[in-house]
Structure 1
Amino acid sequence: MDYLSSLKVKGLVIGPLHVNPKDDQARTNLREVDSTLGTLAEFRDVLQAAKKKSLKVILDLTPNYRSESPWFGQPMDQNYDLQEKMKEAIEFWLKEGVSGIQVGSVESLNDTQILDSWKNLTEQYADDHARVLIAVTRKQDAPGIFSLLNETAGVDVLTSEYLAGLAKSDQDDAKKGETASQMIKNYIRAAGDKWAGWSLARTSSGYLDAFRGEQLLRLYHMLLYTLPGTPFTDYGDEIGLRDLPGQPAASSAIRMQWDNSANFGFSKEAQQAGSQATSNVTVQVRFKPGVPLPISVHFSEV
């Protein structure tokens, strides 16, 4: 929390961390912390530590997060049991003190009234501070995202992988800059008076340094964080954390590299066999106290 506060971060998204046997709706418990990730008491400690630093904690509550089908492969408007469990869980975590809820793959929700009902819950708990509902989509195509912008009007922020295509582009730098400029203008125009969400280096497209280059890291952040709306960045992007060679982030969980000790300071457990650093980029090496990077929202996934 000290580190995030020094980066001028305003909030972080954590999780999902609830009990979720893959594709098993009956045994999925949205109100219980997976014991392999921690305990409810430890999560409460996280909330208190964040509060002392005036940091907002958003909890990702995507139900079936261990699967490619986050909503258990059923039409959500017919899955009344899951709808009820989501409402109960949202209320539970808001009462625990989270500042909002995030849900992924909202393009798979075939009833926008469901999002509206969840938004009503977050608004009801806006007592000491506002609570938010963040929607995430895997869509990258402009028409699909712009359509969702209208359909998800009830959420506070819709974030997508709209800009991820730039990472895979084989255009030269000048042409890529023109393409990015036009894409951003189109998105702002389509968003209209709706609040925009910006992200690029999500887990499916790899870490930021993989395609921006270490020398342009701070410049990229400056450009991203001056766009109108809310910017999101993955943990490690602020130091230039890289993917494992030949393995994009979607296929390999990359640990945050705090230092060069066992497990890179991420855990006190014995170092795992075959564990190796993705690079020599660590917080200890890169971060210099008193020289904050221009980051205002920090995205983190367990």
Structure 2
Amino acid sequence: MSGTSGSETLWWQSGTVYQVYPRSFQDTDGDGVGDLRGITERLDYLAWLGVDAVWISPFYRSPMADFGYDVADYCAVDPLFGTLEDFDTLIAEAHRRKLRVILDFVPNHSSIAHPWFAESRASRANPKRDWYLWRDPAPDGGPPNNWLSNFGGPAWTQDPATGQYYYHAFLPEQPDLNWRNPEVRAAMHDALRFWLERGVDGFRVDVIWHLVKDEALRDNPENPDFLPHQPGINRFQQIYSCDRPEVLDVIAGMRAVLRAYGERVLIGEIYLPIERLVTYYGPDLTGADLPFNFQLIQTPWRADAVAALVEEYEAALPEGGWPNWVLGNHDQPRIAARVGEAQARVAAMLLLTLRGTPTLYYGDEIGLGHVPVPPERAQDPWERNEPGHGRDPARTPMQWDAGPHAGFTVGTPWLPQSADADRRNVDEMRDDSRSILTLYRRLLSLRRDWRALSVGGYRGLPLPPSLAEAVFAYERFSDGETLRILLNFGNTDCRVPLDGQETWTVLLSTRPGRSGEPVQGEIILAPDEGTILAPALR
């Protein structure tokens, strides 16, 4: 059982984060790619939906080898997305609507086009040589070690001019910075301050567990569980190329920068098992405020598996560590694609009723699923390197209305949209009481209205063994409020006992038309139904 936090909570603890992939949210200039002005135009929608913060994926100046995750200038807006003035307007308009703004920060690697790298590769004696990871070839002339790129192939590229190799955990166009160098840390801290001075409310730090590598650059050991269909990166256990203990000092340095600006949040992208993930809160909570918890993406979609995950995560959290949950993002197949349209409603209720800060991914609120992308329209460099692993289907443009290109652009969208875009769009769904969009909005409203949901405690509820695989049951509680959440992961009716003679009221159900129904003794959940119960008024 996890108790409530104190009476004073921070905005990012009680709030909900909404991720925007700027290329795909709203285009205002007709080039088929979303932009900052487009985000500003849709802020009223985000306020109507009921989220508290918008996290914006990278829009920095970039050659776009990895769509902005290859940064050529950390303190500039790429013209594809607009100008600094457009960003300042976005910040002002978001704050006017009481929406916070979180930026994506990409400190592990820059672009090969960044002036820092141009200097670094100029000669072995250049003052910025040590800003990146350069090493001599192995005795046979090959790469310095066996590290692989996360996007396929070797993680080392040889530079003909100096004869040395540079390391890149991702594309060759994304050379890794050397965070052991204090000058690199100082430069990156200055980049954080540049955006903090412009009013941003926090940062999501890209691949934060990669920032420090083994000083001796030892080979990674073979992975005995590697299977041929998996991405090549899984051939080795990544114990020397990432997740090094020294990274916690780096994160503490970032936290110190943010702390000077008041109530700001630091979120870390971390794909690690729970026992490693929770170490990123750092000693005495000096690490990331929210080490991103992606476990719901990776756990089998069964009630017993999810219930066990929640219990394990809650038990592993350090004292004072605030939990968080994620169902999807720009790197993962969408939740509706993974579990189906009916269970996507259950997933929405799960995400927005578990203890901790939830992050929504744009389009999930309209049930956007897998959008096929023909090979000739593939954009993702990972897909080109390792076909079948691309991320384009999770990045297709938002669908706003039934008009041409679903209201996203007057041009040609950079990626296709779903075949049912004339029906699966915000305008069609926002006034439909049965739509998944309405369900998301009602869930977000309940989080605001019930402290038990926003910052309350959590306890799992026992169920008969016959229900364990199908139903996940738990309570949220705070200051005398108690809500009970029952989620049917199965495709048959489930008769769920309710202990005692207390009468409950259905506060909200994923099955339309059930709200307000009194229940006592037991409740029959329909297939794919989730319900929130509140004690009936006495």
User: How does the TM-score come out when normalised to structure 1?
Assistant: 0.82
Aligned runs of 1:99-138 on 2, under 5 Å? Answer: 99-110=201-212, 111-126=247-262, 130-138=263-271
Q: Percent identity?
A: 26
Match of 1:182 among 308, 318, 338: 308
Match of 2:274 in 1: 142
The answer for unaligned runs of 5 or more in structure 1 is 298-302
Match of 2:185 among 62, 71, 83: 83
Shift of 1:245: 2.8
Within 1, Cα distance between the matches of 2:53 and 2:199? 13
- The answer on whether the counterparts of 1:10 and 1:55 sit within 8 Å (CA) in structure 2 is yes
- The answer on whether the counterparts of 1:204 and 1:248 sit within 8 Å (CA) in structure 2 is no
The answer for unaligned runs of 5 or more in structure 2 is 1-42, 112-149, 152-168, 213-246, 374-387, 448-538
Within 2, Cα distance between the matches of 1:25 and 1:179? 33
Give the number of the structure with larger relative contact order, counting CA–CA contacts within 8 Å between residues 6 or more apart: 1
Q: Which amino acid aligns with 1:85?
A: A
| More deviation, 270-279/150-159 | 270-279
CA 1:45 to 1:13, structure 2 compared with 1: closer, same or farther past 3 Å?
same
Counterpart of 1:288 in 2: which secondary structure? coil
Shift of 1:243: 2.2
| More deviation, 40-49/203-212 | 203-212
- The answer on whether the counterparts of 2:333 and 2:391 sit within 8 Å (CA) in structure 1 is yes
Counterpart of 1:59 in 2: which secondary structure? strand
CA 1:117 to 1:244, structure 2 compared with 1: closer, same or farther past 3 Å?
same
Within 2, Cα distance between the matches of 1:245 and 1:216? 20
Shift of 1:211: 2.4
Shift of 1:160: 3.1
- The answer on whether the counterparts of 2:281 and 2:290 sit within 8 Å (CA) in structure 1 is no
- The answer on whether the counterparts of 1:207 and 1:243 sit within 8 Å (CA) in structure 2 is yes
Match of 1:300 in 2: none
Match of 2:416 in 1: 275
- The answer on whether the counterparts of 2:75 and 2:195 sit within 8 Å (CA) in structure 1 is yes
- The answer on whether the counterparts of 1:58 and 1:99 sit within 8 Å (CA) in structure 2 is yes
Instruction: Say whether residues 1:294 and 2:338 are aligned partners.
Output: no
Instruction: Say whether residues 1:10 and 2:151 are aligned partners.
Output: no
Within 1, Cα distance between the matches of 2:293 and 2:409? 31
Tell me the C-alpha RMSD between the 2 structures: 3.1
Which of these two proteins has the greater Rg computed from alpha carbons?
2
Shift of 1:289: 8.1
Within 2, Cα distance between the matches of 1:106 and 1:197? 16
Q: Cα deviations across residues 217-275 of structure 1 (Å, max 9, x unaligned)?
A: 3432222122111111100111101122377772343111112333322234x224883
- The answer on whether the counterparts of 1:20 and 1:65 sit within 8 Å (CA) in structure 2 is no
Shift of 1:85: 2.7
Aligned runs of 1:160-199 on 2, under 5 Å? Answer: 160-166=293-299, 169=300, 176-193=302-319, 194-199=321-326
Shift of 1:84: 2.6
Moved over 6 A (4+): 23-27, 246-249
| More deviation, 181-190/254-263 | 254-263
How many residues get paired?
Answer: 284
Instruction: Say whether residues 1:32 and 2:76 are aligned partners.
Output: yes
Aligned runs of 1:208-247 on 2, under 5 Å? Answer: 208-245=335-372
Within 2, Cα distance between the matches of 1:230 and 1:273? 32
Q: Cα deviations across residues 69-92 of structure 1 (Å, max 9, x unaligned)?
A: 3773344223x4542332111101
Q: Which amino acid aligns with 2:278?
A: F
Match of 2:98 among 54, 67, 79: 54
User: How does the TM-score come out when normalised to structure 2?
Assistant: 0.48
- The answer on whether the counterparts of 1:12 and 1:55 sit within 8 Å (CA) in structure 2 is yes
Counterpart of 1:76 in 2: which secondary structure? coil
Match of 2:492 in 1: none
Q: Which amino acid aligns with 1:180?
A: V
Match of 2:289 among 118, 140, 156: 156
Q: Cα deviations across residues 4-24 of structure 1 (Å, max 9, x unaligned)?
A: 111111111012111133599
Shift of 1:156: 1.3
Within 2, Cα distance between the matches of 1:218 and 1:65? 39
